[in-house]
Amino acid sequence: MTITAAADGSALGNPGPAGWAWYIDEETWHAGGWPHGTNNQGELMAVLDLFRSTAALGQEPLRILCDSQYVINCVTKWMPGWKRRGWKKADGKPVLNVDLLSQIDAELAGRNYTFEWVKGHAGHPLNEAADTKARAVALAYQSGRAPVEGPGFGGNGGAAPSPAPSSAAAPQRPADRGASLGAAEGAGAGALGAVPEQAGLFDEIAPEPEQAERARDVEAVVELEQELLDPGVRGDYGQLAFLLHPEYREIGASGRLWGREELIEELVAAPGSQARFELVDAVPLASDLVQVVYRTVNGTGSALRSSLWQRTEGRWRLRFHQGTSEG
């Protein structure tokens, strides 16, 4: 019999107090977290713990519902190439979250599993339950309370807890966290090129608390840019609406001014073609504003692009984007 479970993660501020959870029903779920982590780390840990908690199933099918394209692509598309290169990306830089990904890879051997993407925050009962329990853990860490971890699989309390990812236990400098951007899927009608992997942002950063916090904000925004620019996300109305600010505007490489709704409709109809992504700069402009500057290159030429991400009600959303053709 196929076991169906939802896996989800939550990070307040992304990064910030973080939680993860997988959920089958009210008698079968498990949750955990860390004082500091990212959404992606929570999503990956939920999947890792689900595999460990159900290891006794052997070849019994496991159907994993996940609202993160990043996690699904990591496990089902990118990991084989990363492993062949010694957990390095095509540009030779280290893979982000390799500590969790390598453990997931080890758990896949001999398992019968499938991943299925579900839209987050759209009323799917299993996804909503996993999200609620992951967020509850993050809130517990934020307030200094002990998190509720759940009964686990078969009432065994879940798998043995995994050590926190190297960047989740406490705030660290981006140079320590190995953030990186890789080659991109291309620009769509609104000039949004896809970024399936990440590249290094900083070689060195001062350890002062304010500077370290700004650096973590920059990394979080780059992760969100990666998620937004994934072709699977650009082709999904719900995810675009979640990531684009209500007052979003864009000036495309053609000079056209796009409004939020018309751009979303255009991207869903034509998510884009392949392009190369070249990071130019990524800097915090204020405590709630980050700018990312990059270049996209495809068969028709190149364009220089700039994105402004604004933190609104505790989460980052893309407020403005501009592309300028370089001929």
Q: What is the pLDDT of residue 122?
A: 84
Residue 305 has pLDDT above 90, yes or no: no
Look up 30 and say whether it is catalytic: no
**Tell me: the pLDDT tens digits for 145-159?**
999 999 999 866 666
| Pairing relationship of beta strands 301-312 and 257-259 according to DSSP bridges | unpaired
The answer to whether residue 166 sits within a structural domain is no
Greatest mean pLDDT among 136-145, 160-169, 272-281? 136-145
Q: What is the pLDDT of residue 69?
A: 85
The answer to whether residue 162 sits within a structural domain is no
* Statement to judge: residues 18 and 114 lie in one domain: yes
* Statement to judge: residues 212 and 149 lie in one domain: no
Residue 282 has pLDDT above 90, yes or no: no
List C-alpha distances in Å: 8 to 126, 210, 322: 10, 29, 32
Q: What is the pLDDT of residue 224?
A: 77
* Statement to judge: residues 146 and 283 lie in one domain: no
**Tell me: the pLDDT tens digits for 235-244?**
888 878 888 9
Output the 3-class SS for 254-283.
Answer: CCCEEEHHHHHHHHHHCCCCCCEEEEEEEE
Pairwise CA distance, residues 203 & 180, whole Å: 12
The answer to whether residue 268 sits within a structural domain is yes
The encoded tokens of residue 99 equal 């500590």
- Catalytic residue among 121, 261, 288, 301, which? 121
- Catalytic residue among 30, 36, 42, 67, which? 67
- Catalytic residue among 9, 152, 186, 252, which? 9
Look up 188 and say whether it is catalytic: no
Average pLDDT, the chain: 80
Pairwise CA distance, residues 70 & 39, whole Å: 10
Look up 43 and say whether it is catalytic: yes
Residue 313 domain boundaries = 174-325
Residue ending a domain, among 155, 183, 215, is 155
Look at the block and give the residue holding tokens 């609406």.
241
Residues 90-117: what's their mean pLDDT? 90
Tell which wins on pLDDT, 248 or 238: 248
Contact 21, 138 (CB under 8 A): no
* Statement to judge: residues 209 and 301 lie in one domain: yes
User: Which residues are bridge partners to 283 per DSSP?
Assistant: 291
**DSSP secondary structure string for all residues of 176-244:** HHT--B-------TT-----SSB----S-----HHHHHHHHHHHHHHHHHHHHHSHHHHT-HHHHHHHE
- Catalytic residue among 99, 105, 131, 149, which? 131
Look up 9 and say whether it is catalytic: yes
Closest CA to 49 of 159, 164, 213, 208: 159
* Statement to judge: residues 308 and 264 lie in one domain: yes
Pairwise CA distance, residues 240 & 249, whole Å: 13
**Tell me: the pLDDT tens digits for 171-226?**
333 333 222 222 223 333 344 443 334 433 333 333 356 666 777 788 778 777 76
Order the strands of the 301-312 sheet from edge to edge.
257-259, 244-251, 315-325, 301-312, 289-298, 276-286
Look up 326 and say whether it is catalytic: no
- Catalytic residue among 33, 37, 42, 43, which? 43
Greatest mean pLDDT among 128-142, 202-216, 282-296? 128-142
The encoded tokens of residue 242 equal 């979640």
Least confident range of 219-228, 270-279, 293-302: 270-279
* Statement to judge: residues 194 and 236 lie in one domain: yes
* Statement to judge: residues 209 and 69 lie in one domain: no
* Statement to judge: residues 50 and 126 lie in one domain: yes
The encoded tokens of residue 14 equal 């992304």
Beta-strand runs (E) in 106-171: 113-117
* Statement to judge: residues 202 and 313 lie in one domain: yes
Cis peptide bond prior to 161, omega within 30° of 0? no
Look up 203 and say whether it is catalytic: no
Q: What is the pLDDT of residue 96?
A: 87
User: Which residues are bridge partners to 291 per DSSP?
Assistant: 283, 308
* Statement to judge: residues 150 and 289 lie in one domain: no
List C-alpha distances in Å: 40 to 1, 68, 130, 178, 306: 29, 8, 15, 14, 24
- Structurally, the chain folds into a number of domains equal to 2
Task: DSSP letter for 78, please.
Answer: I
| Pairing relationship of beta strands 289-298 and 276-286 according to DSSP bridges | antiparallel
Residue ending a domain, among 155, 184, 210, is 155
The answer to whether residue 131 sits within a structural domain is yes
Contact 283, 297 (CB under 8 A): no
The answer to whether residue 61 sits within a structural domain is yes
